[in-house]
Amino acid sequence: MKKKTLVVSVAVVLILLLPFLGGSAIWYLGGAHGLDVNGTAKRVGRPENSISVGDGWSSYGGDAGGHRYSDAAQITIENVDTLVPAWEYRTGDLVDKAAAMSRAATEGTPILVEDSLVFCTPFNEIIALDPGTGLERWRFDPEIDLDQRPANQFVCRGVSHWQDADSEADCSSRILMGTNDARLIAVDARTGQRCQSFGTDGQVRIDPGMALWWPGEFQITSPPAIIGDTVIVGSAISDNARVAAPKGSVRAFDARTGEPRWDFDPVPRGEGDPERSDWQGDGPPTEGHANVWAPMSVDPERGLVFLPTSSPSPDFYGGLRPGDNRYANSVVALNGTTGEVVWSFQTVHHDVWDYDVPAQPGLYTVWRNGKLHDVVAQVTKTGFVFVLDRDTGEAFLPIEERPVPQDGIQGEILSPTQPFPAITPPIVPNVVSADDAFGITWFDKHECRKLIENSRAQGLFTPPSTQGTILLPFTGGGANWGGAAYDPERNLLVVNMSNIAHHVQLFRSDNLEQMREVFHDQEVSPQEGAPYGMKRETLMSSLDLPCTQPPWGIIAGVNLDSGEVVWRKTIGTTEDLSFAPGMKLGTPTFGGPMITATGVVFIGATMDHYLRAFDVSNGEELWRGRLQSPAMATPMSYEWKGRQYVVIYAGGNARTGTKLSDRLVAFALP
């Protein structure tokens, strides 16, 4: 989302929004658009033989399967409204790295290991804190180049922990982290010193396999996956620069020595690969990407690693890659020892919409009629939730292929169908018409109406065009990297999604410089090697308000046994986007939820300055804690010396144009 988006509407919202919406604001929050569902998730209780989850917070997602669930039970639905700030830690980035903060997103979630709270800054500094006081214990700085231009901003979502079976070995307890400049680093979890036995001087440099166009085109933004004594990293690669981009290979290394073990390229280039036929052409595919930039999941008992793969390069033209393009846009289960594919499920065939699989696959144990089922639940940018059998990748909740819009750009060969969950409806809308155009005055509503009328807008999977195509949800989702949380007491998946559209327009590649000159304040990308470049912008009026009907941010609870959407609520207000009182119109969300054993959902993610608590059974808001800036990260919780803490990294995101900060904040009961 561009920097000015939603922020320049300060005076507009103040002067216009209140008179025009008034009491009718409630109509926009539900009713006519079906976005608010009032229901209650019943607490059934786990069967006796179910696996216990939520003990501590030793991995980015709480555990290796990404439950984002804590057994900590001191904070309850009854007392959560008494939470107060317990401590605050400032990294110093707002002062020491002020210039680089304008290209940074604060998305990190700490882990609790070796009696320390350990997290990474956007600039890959690793910091260990006392869990009860927030006082710094140690700090490691890899000294990345702050002059580089990262493809996806400076980002570090988290670190991982590996424990050697030989507790007497050198550096037996390790923190592992991928960096913005493509290194894999190991430091001692107790001291923060480099593990000299790992790679060279405690690090392995990742070779992207080709010359980069600029420093930062290839980076690592999500925490490594750990299975046994193997550490696995993906990569984030700049979108839409070129067809023959760096490969999106997933790489595995020995956690002790840093020696390579295996790699997996989600683009099947070998003739012996069974999915090679889904990349039709005269020879092996030349496209890069199909990379894994979001967090991965691990099932240690099955020895499986689960990858969420991205779209191929480039995003918006696929005429050079006919076929479904599997393993792109897929959940891929790999053997953690060999890197061989066990199964895969594709969420989007032949993607030309930038609908990556954007979030950590959730490895949950769901029960139905008293019987346990191990599943993979995947939230998506399209607003869908797919639930798969963990052993086979077959549908646990029914999935069906449905016809989708055709008639793509010249040379494009689209898939005639796409997979849709048969029971669970999309969490956010995926179709918009001119009659749906939002506006707070006749003028901006008319402007939005014309924008939609003059574009292709046939709903989800409308192909990109030279006319201009509306993508709803926009390429930020639906769901994004914040993912979902799972309550094993209720079979309930909680996920937040955005309800914003993009306008994408293709143009002949020889018109690139002309397009850049005319649209110099918008995203214009070459897609070099393809016959078309692309222009992308958020679908907004000149008042910088979205053309889609609010709410623009949604949080929902989905029963993974039945597929039913139990409740769906608005999340976010305009409070910190204007001088007006906070209107509950929702905001786009960046970050995810977590759940406690007492049925409290904690989430930041919005563009206003709050950490919120919701009742997991019905989605009712219980509390909000004021922050210095938006908390566009995922919170975590733990108990330390008899006190439960909820911690959130509140630093904002430069691309949203919201206020930036460098604070890690802990809340607890008085």
SS3 341: strand
508, 531 contact by CB (below 8 A): yes
pLDDT of 641 reads: 97
pLDDT of 496 reads: 98
Average pLDDT for residues 79-85, to the nearest whole number?
98
pLDDT of 12 reads: 36
- Rounded to whole angstroms, the Cα distance separating 495 from 592 reads 7
Q: Is 53's pLDDT higher than 50?
A: yes
166, 255 contact by CB (below 8 A): no
Q: How confident is the model at residue 36 (pLDDT cuts 50, 70, 90)?
A: low
- Rounded to whole angstroms, the Cα distance separating 516 from 583 reads 36
**CA 90, 93, 98, 102 torsion: positive or negative?**
negative
Neighbours of 369 (CB within 10 A): 5
Of 135, 25, 142, 50, nearest to 666 by C-alpha is 135
pLDDT of 397 reads: 98
pLDDT of 117 reads: 98
- Rounded to whole angstroms, the Cα distance separating 407 from 467 reads 12
Residue type, 184: L
Average pLDDT for residues 127-148, to the nearest whole number?
97
pLDDT of 49 reads: 60
Of 380, 303, 293, nearest to 334 by C-alpha is 303
Q: How confident is the model at residue 288 (pLDDT cuts 50, 70, 90)?
A: confident
Neighbours of 228 (CB within 10 A): 13
pLDDT of 32 reads: 33
- Name the average pLDDT for the chain: 92
Q: At which residue do the structure tokens 């019987």 appear?
A: 371
Q: How confident is the model at residue 6 (pLDDT cuts 50, 70, 90)?
A: very low
pLDDT of 40 reads: 87
Q: At which residue do the structure tokens 């683009």 appear?
A: 267
Q: Which residues sit opposite 307 in a β-bridge?
A: 332
Q: Is 201's pLDDT higher than 60?
A: yes
Q: How confident is the model at residue 21 (pLDDT cuts 50, 70, 90)?
A: very low
pLDDT tens per residue, range 549-575: 999 999 999 999 999 999 999 999 988
pLDDT of 425 reads: 97
Kindly report whether the peptide bond that precedes residue 473 is cis, defined as omega within 30 degrees of 0.
Answer: yes
DSSP string, 241-295: SBSSPPB--EEEEETTT--EEEEE-SS--STTSTTGGGS-SSSS----B----SP
589, 496 contact by CB (below 8 A): yes
Token pair in block for residue 109:
């979630």
E strands along 60-219, which residues? 69-70, 84-90, 111-113, 116-120, 126-129, 136-140, 160-163, 173-178, 183-188, 203-205, 218-219
Q: What is the dihedral of CA 171, 173, 179, 181, to 10 degrees?
A: 10
DSSP state of 655: G
Average pLDDT for residues 214-223, to the nearest whole number?
96
Q: Is 81 a catalytic residue?
A: no
pLDDT of 333 reads: 98
Q: How far is CA 580 from CA 10, 430, 440, 520, 573, in A?
A: 8, 30, 14, 32, 10
pLDDT of 11 reads: 35
Q: Is 47's pLDDT higher than 90?
A: no
% of the chain with per-residue pLDDT over 90: 85
Q: Is 14's pLDDT higher than 50?
A: no
Domains in the chain: ranges and CATH: 10-41+56-668 (2.140.10.10)
Of 634, 630, 635, nearest to 654 by C-alpha is 630
pLDDT of 37 reads: 62
Average pLDDT for residues 371-394, to the nearest whole number?
98
pLDDT of 579 reads: 52
Token pair in block for residue 530:
């393809």
% of the chain with per-residue pLDDT over 70: 93
- Rounded to whole angstroms, the Cα distance separating 311 from 358 reads 10
Q: Considering just the CA atoms, what is the radius of gyration of the chain in Å?
A: 23
Lowest model confidence (mean pLDDT) among 35-44, 465-474, 489-498, 602-611: 35-44
264, 249 contact by CB (below 8 A): yes
pLDDT tens per residue, range 476-511: 999 999 999 999 999 999 999 999 999 999 999 999
Residue type, 584: K
pLDDT of 522 reads: 92
pLDDT tens per residue, range 519-531: 998 999 999 999 9
Lowest model confidence (mean pLDDT) among 277-286, 346-355, 392-401, 602-611: 277-286
Sheet containing 225-227: order of strands: 225-227, 230-233, 250-254, 260-264
Q: Which of 188, 265, 299, 354 is catalytic?
A: 354
pLDDT tens per residue, range 156-188: 999 999 999 999 999 999 999 999 999 999 999
pLDDT of 278 reads: 87
- Rounded to whole angstroms, the Cα distance separating 551 from 656 reads 18
